Amino acid sequence: MDSDYRHSKTTVSLLNYHFVFCPRYRRKIFVNSEVDARFKSLVHSICEENEWSILAIETDKDHCHLFVNVQPTYSPADVMKVIKGRTSRELRQSFEHLSKMPSVWTRSYFVSTAGNVSSATTKRYVESQRTRY
């Protein structure tokens, strides 16, 4: 598991955020495997560009769990703004059935922090989302 501390010139940090967010009206957009794959691909590229480490990502029919390690210069709101904004735009351009929506995501989300002790537990939880039924 990637629980290594991040080092910069002035900080040492371990900020792991567990996000849960939903499409508007709890639409079951992730039932479509192409939307699911494209969404995960977009999140991976966004995180790579921003030097965020994805510890786990999984979708269920109508929501997404994202467990990510970020630098201390990014607030949870900043992370969600970037991920939701870019994925909404790209998904609406790529899939016609989503293009009619003003936005793919609701404005709300859940976020929780996790340190060393609970990171493994959170990662197992996120990875088991699709197989729990």
In the numeric block, which tokens belong to residue 34?
């192409």
The answer to whether residue 1 is domain-embedded is no
Lowest mean pLDDT: which of 3-17, 34-48, 94-108?
3-17
How many structural domains is the chain composed of? 1
Residue 116 DSSP SS3: helix
| 57 in any annotated domain | yes
Instruction: For residue 13, tell me if it sits in a domain.
Output: yes
Domain presence at residue 132 = no
Mean pLDDT of the 41-64 span: 96
User: Could you report the per-residue pLDDT of 90-125, keeping only the tens digit for each?
Assistant: 999 999 999 988 899 999 999 998 765 567 777 887
3-class secondary-structure state, position 2: coil
- Pick the closest to residue 93 from 35, 50, 47, 37 (CA basis): 35
- pLDDT band per the 50, 70, 90 thresholds, residue 128: confident
Q: What pTM did the predictor assign?
A: 0.83
CATH classification of the domain holding 64:
3.30.70.1290
Provide the domain limits for residue 71.
6-127
Question: Would 133 be classed as within a structural domain?
Answer: no
